Structure 1
Amino acid sequence: MRHRVLLTVLFLNLLLGELVTAREDQSVLFFAGQSREEFADYLTHVCEQGNACPRPVGAAFYTSLHGNGFERPHANAPGDNHQDFWYLQSVYKPLMVQVALWMSPEELAKVNQGEFDVQVEQLVDRLAQSGQRIFLRIGYEFDGPHNRYQPNEFVAAYRKIAKQARRASNIELVWHSFAMLPTYQERDVMAWYPGDRFVDWLAISYFQVSDDGYHAGPNRQRIIEIAKAKQKPVMIAEASAIRYTVTQKAAQGKSYWDYWYKPFFDLIESTPEIKAVSMINVNWDSQAQHRVLEWGDARIASDGYVLKQWREKMHAPYWKSVRYIDQ
């Protein structure tokens, strides 16, 4: 009996050791966003230009097949924050960029019909010429009811864009699930899968911690299990500590940390497949585009307790660090 207990303890120690090792090898990339102003706010008020905690190794950028944010700063609604690729090329180097390519259901069909061939080629050329490591999320949150993507249309359009992207050695392809149930038309996420050779990363969104206050619930574990089976890394491509329900709006300090941030970091620290995390540092209610969501102020620095705990977590050994060249 004693030997059996010792063997069990040894096995658990080895298992925990493997998890700790996986989270101590500087393997997780951290991105901030999701606009120029929000990235700058993170640099100034959260990490204090690297003095309070390490600077992000990457930033989030959103665009469309119309080239938004490349030639000039672009705000989706007047007065809102900007998508600005030039800024992300100049703020400091090296800076990785995860690029979200939005398409409407109608545009998926036009991609498949060849109507956007020139725009797709231009997009790939711009990303290739940047010289930055690019993570391209084609038709992000493909399974979300808000996108209304038919699987066959999405798969065909994704593959067409992916084939162009494969021309560039600095572009990695990200298949990004909304990771919530029910999916659009209640299909399994694999209905939208374009095939292993077109996917370098699997990704999930992380907004709701549970189904509290929603008519939906997280579907993250399904994506993580697919990633395990396919031996591909996972990115938390969009995350924000939204304040949607009455309980969430009222929570402050430790109670809100325990409600949203602790489960968030628990997932990262217990899931070796997660190799990248992107945080949306935003006051949702301050923007015309997002005010209707009523998600509140999710800026990390808006709560002193959250800010202190966040900075401590960002010193964890699993975050990948890089040497920056300041511009």
Structure 2
Amino acid sequence: MSFLRNLFATAVLGLGVSIPAAARAPLEPADGRTLLIVGQEKHEIARYWKEVGPAGGYMLYSSLATLSGLDGPIKGSGCSDSGTMDFQDWVQNYPDTVAQVGLYMVSSLTDAATGELDHVIADMAEILRQSGKPVFLRIGYEFDGPWNRYHPDLYKMAWKRIADILHGRQVGEVSIAPVSNVALVWHSGAYDTYMNRPIADWYPGDEYVDWVALSWFQWGSDDNEAAATEAREKVAAFARTHGKPLMIAESAPKQYFEAHDPKAWAGWHQRVLDWISANNVKAYSYINQDWTAMPQWQAACGNGADWGNTRIQKPGSRILETWRKELENPRWLRQGPELYPAIGFTPR
């Protein structure tokens, strides 16, 4: 099916024709349109909306082991404090938008793969369903990152089990109605890979994956930047080969191109925007926050000291007005009555 979709897409794009909605993946906009999603912490998202303007989506994280932040707000403490995650804040306060949820599975991969968490997965599915709004679910995000240490075979087993439950298939003792408002996102860290394995080793199959995604963070050395650039191209090529829409699921320039820097726009933001256009990226998730204010991202917690303040609107910003002007481009899908029809979503 993916081959035929790819062949059809190539043919119609050559004629300047968009892929019809029926041929698109769940929640996929037409070619040349891109969802703008902003994350990743409740209060920072609210500040963006107030001080910069509306985005099209709300980005947050949860854990499969606990479903943290899905049924109410949660804020960690100490080195687990990365701000407040609150799916229900999005449900209640951000109409005409999407959610993008990163599902952490490092502590629960084996249990998810072997069926110990089937009922928890079903509970998660019902929470997402009850939102009544479109959700992108990044199952075990940055699957290939050495920092996660996901074994490819277990990862694929867990993914298929989660997908089958969400799709309404009988899994063990669990059977629920299909959840139709969720798109499943297969997200590469797009840098180094665990055990130096190719990303295809983690791929659960075309029938289980809706979107392909990657991370894009600025690195501190030319060698690291070169490795990330090569990895991004491989992920984009994989998405094209499998006929899947492409998402940048996590991104930030870190301290290297903060908004007060005269080189910030040309040095980082314009590069990303040009790549989005060249690769028909259909969702862009930007992490607009002061990382230095979050204990988890400080050097004392072992996460390095280079995360910085990546707010577009930080004091002294030289890019705020350029950013606002860019978002006037019809490419960008943001909050409003046009968004749901543009991604083929009908609220029920």
Per the normalisation by structure 2, the TM-score is 0.78
1:320 and 2:313 equivalent?
no
Cα distance in structure 2, aligned partners of 1:213 and 1:188:
20
Letter in 2 for 1:186: N
Cα distance change, pair 30–39 in 1 and its aligned pair in 2 (3 A): same
Letter in 1 for 2:87: F
Cα distance in structure 2, aligned partners of 1:142 and 1:169:
24
Q: Which stretch of structure 1 is more off in the superposition, 67-76 or 139-148?
A: 67-76
Counterpart pick for 2:272 among 252, 255, 264: 264
Q: For residues 251-290 of structure 1, what are the alpha-carbon distances to aligned partners after superposition, in whole Å with 9 as ceiling and x for unaligned? A: 9433122211111111112222x11111110111111111
1:291 and 2:298 equivalent?
yes
Cα distance in structure 1, aligned partners of 2:273 and 2:151:
33
Q: CA RMSD in A?
A: 2.7
1:59 and 2:61 equivalent?
no
Counterpart pick for 1:169 among 152, 161, 180: 180
Counterpart pick for 1:280 among 269, 274, 287: 287
Question: Retained in 2: the 8 A contact 1:76–1:289?
Answer: no
Paired residue for 1:311? 324
Q: Which runs of structure 2 are paired with 1:95-114 in the superposition (5 Å)?
A: 95-104=97-106, 106-114=107-115
Paired residue for 1:241? 253
Cα distance change, pair 27–120 in 1 and its aligned pair in 2 (3 A): same
Give the ranges of 4+ consecutive aligned residues of structure 1 lying more than 2 Å apart after TM superposition.
Answer: 15-19, 23-26, 76-80, 208-218, 248-254, 320-325
Paired residue for 1:137? 138
Report which of the two structures shows the higher radius of gyration computed on alpha carbons. Answer: 1
1:242 offset after TM fit, Å? 0.7
Aligned length: 296
Paired residue for 2:194? 184
Cα distance in structure 1, aligned partners of 2:110 and 2:30:
44
Per the normalisation by structure 1, the TM-score is 0.83
Q: For residues 69-116 of structure 1, what are the alpha-carbon distances to aligned partners after superposition, in whole Å with 9 as ceiling and x for unaligned? A: 123211133565200111101113122111111011x41111122221
Identical pairs, percent: 35
Question: Retained in 1: the 8 A contact 2:257–2:263?
Answer: no
Letter in 1 for 2:88: W
Consecutive unaligned residues in structure 1, runs of 5 or more: 1-14, 48-54
SS at match of 1:296: coil
Cα distance change, pair 259–81 in 1 and its aligned pair in 2 (3 A): same
Counterpart pick for 2:241 among 221, 224, 229: 229
